[in-house]
């Protein structure tokens, strides 16, 4: 179990959501049969999927970061650019989308690197890494920029059988010292040791993932909530990753979280946008006025390779 090693605050969040395509129009390209299409739509709640066939990953990341109001004029304060990747490879060699994006954003003085191997839970890992780096930086005005989300670079990455359909929405998160708008209170993650699941989702691996999913998710949620010094009833809102409606309604029931505290609206609007989902959800609830000063909210994610993560923050 990995727990939070330092405290920081989210300063600003923005997302870029490319145009959406009805799930029905993707049916043939994904190879979905009638039963799978009905399950994804009627049961899982997927409707429209973010698709950007004419945009590169670098263009998507740049578009998200360019919308950060708090970044404008503060580029010299950015010491770290952290690329949170749900996938290991999202562009053909020798293209490096992160390098292209940092140059376009004028952040070439920053140390830029990627974190991966937590699948779609890597976005929350990147927040913890940013907090650790800023705590040891020595400059209280230093900032870190997280770029999250992925291109569906290969047919394998476009959907997860009987689970979800992937979207290409991305998010940018500006992180500062413990003085910003949204303070990190607790973080926990755990990898259940199936690195083979990232490349080969065999029936046996799928069965194992289903068997442990709810208990493993509950484990990290309880650990993050405990690290934050609160209890489950103290959570005002849950911002999950947008995998499907069923998994989260079951999780909410298991955890004793009222369904009206579970934000699931973006499942139908975007599809599952890898590790950008919690941040895309954050921006949406801000737009809707669903977060009030003092509210404590929970971000959660799970990734291929059977990694689970949760983070508690206070608005």
CATH of the domain at 115: 3.40.47.10
Q: Of 142, 176, 210, which residue sits at a domain end? A: 176
pLDDT of residue 210: 73
pLDDT of residue 259: 92
pLDDT for 236-256, tens place per residue?
999 999 999 999 999 999 999
Are 193 and 294 in a shared domain? yes
Are 169 and 41 in a shared domain? yes
41 pLDDT higher than 50: yes
What distance lies between CA 199 and its chain's CA centroid?
A: 20
Are 209 and 297 in a shared domain? yes
pTM here is: 0.94
185 pLDDT higher than 50: yes
pLDDT for 150-172, tens place per residue?
998 777 788 887 788 999 999 99
Are 268 and 134 in a shared domain? no
Are 169 and 221 in a shared domain? no
Tokens of 240: 């999950």
Q: Of 176, 202, 235, which residue sits at a domain end? A: 176
Please give the full DSSP string across the chain, using - where no structure is assigned.
-EE--S--EEEEEEEE-PPEEEHHHHHHHHT--HHHHHIIIIIT---EEE--TTS-HHHHHHHHHHT-GGGTT-GGGEEEEEEE-SSS--S-TT--HHHHHHHHTT-TTSEEEEE-SSGGGHHHHHHHHHHHHHHTTS-TT-EEEEEE-----SGGGSEETTTEEB---EEEEEEESTTSSEEEEEEEEEE-S-GGGGT---HHHHHHHHHHHHHHHHHHHHHHHHHTT--GGG--EEE---S-HHHHHHHHHHHT--GGGB--HHHHHH-B-GGGHHHHHHHHHHHHT---TT-EEEEEEEETTTEEEEEEEE-
What angle in degrees, to the nearest 10, is found between the helix axes of 57-66 and 97-104? 30
Tokens of 20: 């959406």
198 pLDDT higher than 80: no
Nearest alpha carbon to residue 109 among 79, 82, 137: 79
Are 188 and 277 in a shared domain? yes
Q: Of 176, 200, 217, which residue sits at a domain end? A: 176
**Residue 234 near residue 221 (C-beta atoms within 8 A):** no
15 pLDDT higher than 80: yes
How many domains are there within the chain? Answer: 2
Are 297 and 206 in a shared domain? yes
What whole-number distance in Å separates Cα of residue 37 and Cα of residue 275? 24
> Which residue range forms the structural domain that includes residue 104?
2-176
pLDDT of residue 182: 96
pLDDT of residue 203: 64
What whole-number distance in Å separates Cα of residue 144 and Cα of residue 127? 9
196 pLDDT higher than 90: no
Are 284 and 236 in a shared domain? yes
197 pLDDT higher than 50: no
Q: Which range is least confidently modeled, 15-19, 34-38, 63-67, 253-257? A: 34-38
Mean pLDDT of 52-57: 94
């Amino acid at each position: 179990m990995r727990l939070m090693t330092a405290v920081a605050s989210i300063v600003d969040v923005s997302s870029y959501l490319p145009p959406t395509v009805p799930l029905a129009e993707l049916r043939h390209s994904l190879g979905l049969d009638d039963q799978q299409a009905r399950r994804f739509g009627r049961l899982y709640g997927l409707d429209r999927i973010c698709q950007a066939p004419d945009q590169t990953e670098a263009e998507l990341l740049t578009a998200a970061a360019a919308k950060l109001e708090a970044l404008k004029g503060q580029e010299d304060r950015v010491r770290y650019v952290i690329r949170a990747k749900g996938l290991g490879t999202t562009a053909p060699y020798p293209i490096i989308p992160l390098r292209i994006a940092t140059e376009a954003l004028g952040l070439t003085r920053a140390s830029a690197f990627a974190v991966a191997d937590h699948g779609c839970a890597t976005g929350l890992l990147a927040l913890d890494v940013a907090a650790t780096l800023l705590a040891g930086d020595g400059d209280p005005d230093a900032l870190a920029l997280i770029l999250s989300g992925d291109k569906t670079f290969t047919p394998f990455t476009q959907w997860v059988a009987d689970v979800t359909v992937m979207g290409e929405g991305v998010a940018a998160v500006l992180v500062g010292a413990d003085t910003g708008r949204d303070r990190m209170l607790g973080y926990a993650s755990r990898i259940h040791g199936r690195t083979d699941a990232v490349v080969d989702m065999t029936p046996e691996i799928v069965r194992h993932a289903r068997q442990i999913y709810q208990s493993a998710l509950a484990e990290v949620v309880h650990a993050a909530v405990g690290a934050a010094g609160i209890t489950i009833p103290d959570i005002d809102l849950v911002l999950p990753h947008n995998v499907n409606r069923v998994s989260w309604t079951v999780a909410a029931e298991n955890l004793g979280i009222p369904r009206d505290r579970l934000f699931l609206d973006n499942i139908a609007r975007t599809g599952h946008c890898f590790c950008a989902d919690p941040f895309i959800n954050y921006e949406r609830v801000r737009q809707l006025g669903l977060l009030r000063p003092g509210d404590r909210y929970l971000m959660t994610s799970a990734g291929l390779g059977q990694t689970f993560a949760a983070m508690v923050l206070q608005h």
